[in-house]
Chains A and B, each alone.
Chain A
């Protein structure tokens, strides 16, 4: 089946969505979370693939990279969104979960700046 064509949705003025801020937009039936992380914009479906929780209050952070036993290596700083409920880790860029990237993921969308507006294509 052909994927339905996407369309742009206005998120906010650039000035209203500074670093560290986030905003939820309704895109048809979907709720989309748009985040400004250190000046980079991400848009991710606002629904945890686990139990459907809104990700709006989720924590943006890095994580501990795969390591040898009893080694802790921090990395991927501010690339991970953790669900506010059970703490599942989702890659902000791809929507893929860290524990099962192939099997468990959430949709992500391109974000662009048009003039002084933040726009998500969904």
Chain B
């Protein structure tokens, strides 16, 4: 392609605006960023503000947010070009992210899902987990959302205690800029009644429930994970979609969408190609096994299409680009797929590049239209 054609292509992409469903802000100083938003009692409880001492790093001597300590991305799991000029962690400065992401790629709204908090489900103390979620939400509403109206918040809730989670949704669900609930996954499938208070509250406030990898699948606890424990990062990362498949099947088969007809579930960063597979597999099984789950009044795939949304990144790159178009058609992407960049993770997608090969109408649906409907933007 000649240079002028490339430039022309780029200009055309830039005329499209994007809603980015998956952006990860990071703390500058780890958990200490939350200090002003935790009570004295909780600060004492987790040892925040205590003097540094030789106990650091020793067993049972320091509280850290549970996170993926099992797998090492050999380059580093964050984009090196997103590091701040002062060496601060990628996406830890809302003004810099505005420049690096929002302005540069015509992002009209970015849904923020805190990157340090993914492992919240691994905190053994349910009250502490809930307190951390609350502190994080207040911190985000205080430090990120006022910086730019394009920043939107997915409220963290702690999955350990669904009643406390529902309370948190009730506390902030109507706050301007709050567009979703973020639910870290644990070792209970999403269709389980454990989560119904969360779904009830989310539905009451018209908020979709979002899930994302790195819940506790990267921790050595009985977590949402594939069968067995992968040895390598590459293996863990590629297999994450199996966790989403299990949860999608659970949500449908337990009748969650019959119980909560207004509920929407967003699967972030879990891939796309498994969706038609699971739709067909469930539909086929349902024809034979309908009497086991008689509360399903429609084909399982219809619940998936109506209630589930899937974010694009990491966009799949098949042998032939047209294969992806076929997959998108199979999963009715014009109403089920929403764009996400996953900024600033290493596998982030460039908005202009990721959707470049899609026909215009579908591109608009994926880039922003469906997400606007979903998040009420």
Contacts and interface: CB of A to CB of B under 8 A. Distances in A.
A complexed with B = yes
Interface of A: 50, 63-73, 86-89, 97-100
A32 B221 CA distance: 58
A47 to B, nearest CB: 16
B258 A69 contact: yes
28 contacts: A63-B291, A64-B290, A64-B292, A64-B294, A66-B294, A66-B295, A66-B297, A67-B295, A68-B255, A68-B259, A68-B295, A69-B256, A70-B193, A70-B254, A70-B295, A71-B295, A72-B294, A73-B294, A86-B287, A86-B288, A87-B289, A88-B287, A97-B287, A98-B290, A99-B286, A99-B287, A99-B299, A100-B287
> Interface residues of B toward A: which range?
10 to 19
B281 to A, nearest CB: 13
A23 B99 CA distance: 78
Contact of A70 (B255, B287, B290, B299): B255
A89 B259 contact: no
B77 to A, nearest CB: 39
A89 B291 contact: yes
A99 B285 CA distance: 11
A86 B284 CA distance: 10
A71 B289 CA distance: 16
B301 to A, nearest CB: 12
Contact of B295 (A69, A87, A88, A98): A69
Contact of B259 (A69, A87, A88): A69
A65 B291 CA distance: 8
Interface string B53-97: 000000000000000000000000000000000000000000000
Contacts of B288: 86-88
A100 to B, nearest CB: 8
Interface string B228-247: 00000000000000000000
